[in-house]
A and B are shown apart, each in its own frame.
Chain A
Amino acid sequence: MVDWTVKIGGAAGQGVQTVAEVLSLLLKRSGYYVFSLEDYQSRIRGGHTFTQIRLKDEPVWAARSALDLLVCLDQLTYELHRDEVKKGGLILGSFEAKAETGDRQLIRLDFEKEALQLGNRVFANMVAVGAISQILGLEPGIVEAHIEKVFAKKGVEVVEKNRAALRRGKEAVGIAPVLRSENPSRRDSGPQFLLDGNQALGLGALLAGCTFYSAYPMTPSTGIMNFLASRMKEYGVLVEQAEDEIAAINMAIGAAYAGARAMTGTSGGGFCLMVEGLGLAAMTEVPVVVVNGQRPGPSTGLPTRTSQADLHFVIHAGHDEFPRFVFAPRDPQDAINVVRRAFYLAEKYQVPAIILSDQYLADSKVSYRDIGIEKIPDDSTGVNVNADYGRYALTPSGVSPRAIPGKEALVVVDSDEHDECGHLTEDLTIRVKMHEKRMRKWEAMQREIRMPVFLEGKEATLVGWGSTWGILQEVRRELLQEGIEVGLVHFNELWPLPLGLREFLRSLPRPIVVENNYWGQLATLLEGEARVELATRITRYDGRPFLVDELCLRVKEVLQGA
């Protein structure tokens, strides 16, 4: 079985992401499953950035810390990461070696110098890809076909030059492939699809029939806007770059009021600005979907790193009380379906739905054999009603018939407290009725929420939410292989909390809550709402995701400490 980890590092602007992207696609084409994560700084050039790709001949859902191959586009990469390379591992690239112990193979190859000999330093990335594919034993045919496809539009000459760069990289490595070369059976059962969280969130929205997306660019959610913007023409989707996040959410609400399926996306800081708008959506009962791609804070925090620390915030954001949905997709495939479900439920209950993504989910690429598109009912927007229509008719469910302007009825909505027709009122009897009407939705909303995924284990149970799914799954599998029977409970629907949690959580052996925040926000939420004790928590808040091997050790420490 192949289970390799390759890290490609360099300065921002040097082409780390380009090399990693081409390599991920080549690996997928060669029948390997890949999981890649990106670590970058908030700058355009310089500094240090890396992409870590794990490849396996079976599905892979998370990263490990130890490297089989370190590819250095600069000296700093070598200095920062050489100690992560396993014994017997390889270090490739342009670097000056320092006091090596000799248990790692050093292949010094200056990609840029090789490229210059081909006439232009732009080919350095392709020289690197060629060198890496030689080491990984990737079939040359696949590699060259890919290059041809990528550069075909730019003409024969460009294709030829890139091909030459690939060959040069391959030859210059000067060693035989370390991994087995092409294995046809692997390709038969290999992955088909490769996508990251942002692509998936955008795709989910597109499939759901979203036609309006307004946002202010903010890492790590900008990729959603990029995806939808690339589909504007084809599908008639409007993507508007707003002047700020306040405008973004007010635009989305305006578009939804008019009858579009509308979404906005941001990160925690931008979400702070959107909070008044969230209340507007709740008060006017206009369905809107908001993605918060979490990153560490407070304030600007670490703009390009990951975090799961906005859970309490988004659940409670806004003054007074109002019902809302909060979801947290587990991985890109899940994100496609979660967004579609968020649109459906937001519309069904005429409430805001929030999706908690994070930098780890947003930027990590995952490969799949199949992508399952869940069947979701289609409740179309805009009932046609007669002229004496009241937008906020009091109903037993709290959900009133929703018309859109431009048809028979006049549609009146107000951020002030309002009567059944939507006109502002200070009649406190009506206020009570309206507040109860809005809050009444909660009961049915709770019943919509699905229980977390549950995998049994006798000794202990890992509990997590959102983007940690892949990591916890792999940690559980690894511990099982060591004979430690650990279960897993994982949430992707967080608010309302599913019904019947108390009994369920109490039945779990030794819950250990794993989260990318300081408090253990899910743990405290569950303690408060489900009245259970969840004292054992493993947290990480340095801006980086959990890695499988490191987390295995921490879980074992917890278990041994008992």
Chain B
Amino acid sequence: MHNPFESDLEIAWCPGCGNFGILKALKEALFELGYKPQRVVLVSGIGQAAKLPHYLRVNVFNGLHGRSIPAAFAIKAANPELLVIAESGDGCMYGEGGNHLLHAIRRNPDITVIVHDNQVYGLTKGQASPTSEEGFVSKVQTLGALSSPFHPLSVAIAQDASFVARGFSGDIEGLKEILKKALSWKGFALVDVLQPCVTFNRVNTFGWYKERVYYLGEDHDPGNQIRAFEKSLEWGQKIPLGIFYMHPKPTYQEKFYAQVSQPHLLYRGPLPEEAVTRELQLLV
């Protein structure tokens, strides 16, 4: 059967880029979950990763660098019928937009955030990113990165994010399964995707990851925040993949719409005459 999310737009990524795996996994996940493209909105920021929405047949909001999450939050709030996905690179989500990520976790909107985490800035040609290892050498970090890396999963779990997972773009099947769970999850879902940059990151290559990644086993209890946090700290010789943490809780939309009589925020016309009269009367 034809996948309605397939698009024939020319792709501007480097040959062999880790982004291709994410694109394929996402397209298939959406298809297998039975979504119609019209119901899906992909929101992104700026960077190579942020071009992804253009390569699917979906609604696209390709906004500003770092600002995809506030826009995604509002799109979902305005029309809860839409499936809203924010996706971008690690510079966009963890650097420029880091603050928005923290506050989105607090709001718990029913959106999925997919981060292409390649530990390097691609489009600006090779600088360290928030997730680069300390000591990472680049044209800017000539002394090696002096800052330690940002730990997205640990931060998200510490903040009690509703759903926290890590995938690897080198395993499209595995990533697809994670994405399907994230997209079906009710609440804020963060999926950090390890994605080798074949042009600028000579350290964290496909080979480097393949030697290290493994999936969390049945013995991992994603309902246990402390254990999930512990697991999120594991990095180096062994890097865990899979769903680290799940905490079902009421979403922002549920809490808001439970208290108002309207099903959405879409334009309903100006206030009716009697409401205008009532409002003016309140100023008397």
Contacts and interface: CB of A to CB of B under 8 A. Distances in A.
A409 B75 CA distance: 16
A378 B270 contact: yes
Interface stretch (B136-144, B166-174, B261-269): B261-269
Contacts of B283: 193-195, 199, 203, 371
A380 to B, nearest CB: 6
Given A247-B70, A373-B276, A410-B38, A259 B284 contact: no
B134 interface: no
B60 A243 contact: no
Contacts of A254: 43, 61, 63, 70-75, 78
A194 B75 CA distance: 36
B103 A259 contact: no
Interface in A189-244: 192-195, 199, 203, 206-209, 211-212, 214, 232-233, 235-238, 240, 242-244
B280 interface: yes
Contacts of B58: 410
Nearest to B41: A405
B100 interface: yes
A405 B262 CA distance: 19
Interface string B44-76: 001000010010011111111001001111110
A233 to B, nearest CB: 6
Contacts of A337: none
Nearest to B53: A412
A410 B82 CA distance: 12
A276 interface: yes
A284 B73 CA distance: 18
Interface stretch (A74-82, A128-136, A414-422, A441-449): A414-422
B23 to A, nearest CB: 15
Interface in B58-102: 58-64, 67, 70-75, 77-79, 81-82, 99-100, 102
Interface string A372-383: 010010101110
Given A250-B67, A405-B59, A255 B261 contact: no
A238 B71 contact: no
A193 B280 contact: yes
A76 B74 CA distance: 48
Contacts of B57: 410
B13 interface: no
A404 B72 contact: no
B70 A280 contact: no
B46 A381 contact: no
Interface string B176-215: 0000000000000000000000000000000000000000
Contacts of B54: 412, 414, 423-424
Given A243-B99, A260-B78, A405-B38, A238 B267 contact: no
Contacts of B271: 206-209, 235
B9 interface: yes
B59 to A, nearest CB: 4
A272 to B, nearest CB: 15
A415 B100 contact: no
**Interface-centre pick from B77, B81, B259 (highest chain A CB count, 10 A):** B77
B37 interface: yes
Interface in B8-60: 9, 37-39, 41, 43, 46, 51, 54, 57-60
A412 B280 contact: no
A411 B62 CA distance: 11
Contacts of B64: 250, 276-277, 280, 415
Contacts of B72: 254
Nearest to B280: A371
Given A232-B260, A246-B67, A211 B267 contact: yes
A248 B46 CA distance: 19
B59 A382 contact: no
B186 to A, nearest CB: 19
Nearest to A347: B267
A554 interface: no
A85 to B, nearest CB: 32
B62 A413 contact: yes
**Interface-centre pick from A260, A280, A416 (highest chain B CB count, 10 A):** A260
B230 interface: no
B33 to A, nearest CB: 17
A247 B51 CA distance: 21
B65 to A, nearest CB: 9
Nearest to A277: B64
Contacts of A422: 60
Nearest to A206: B271
Contacts of A371: 280, 283
Given A214-B74, A247-B100, A414 B79 contact: no
A25 B67 CA distance: 44
A408 interface: yes
A410 B53 CA distance: 12
B77 A209 contact: no
Interface in A353-397: 371, 373, 376, 378, 380-382
Contacts of A409: 38
A306 B60 CA distance: 41
B35 to A, nearest CB: 12
A194 B281 CA distance: 10
A8 B63 CA distance: 49
Contacts of B270: 207-209, 340, 376, 378
A251 interface: yes
Contacts of B38: 405-410
Contacts of B75: 254-255, 257-258, 405
A193 B283 CA distance: 5
A408 B79 CA distance: 15
A207 B61 CA distance: 28
Contacts of B100: 243, 247
A404 B78 CA distance: 11
B62 A414 contact: yes
8 smallest CB-CB distances across A and B, nearest first, come from A236-B262, A254-B71, A254-B74, A258-B78, A405-B59, A211-B265, A255-B74, A251-B74
Given A214-B70, A280-B63, A404-B266, 6 more contacts: A193-B280, A240-B74, A250-B63, A258-B41, A407-B38, A415-B63
Interface of A: 192-195, 199, 203, 206-209, 211-212, 214, 232-233, 235-238, 240, 242-244, 246-248, 250-255, 257-262, 276-277, 280, 284, 340, 371, 373, 376, 378, 380-382, 404-416, 422-424
6 contacts: A250-B63, A254-B43, A255-B77, A258-B265, A382-B267, A404-B79
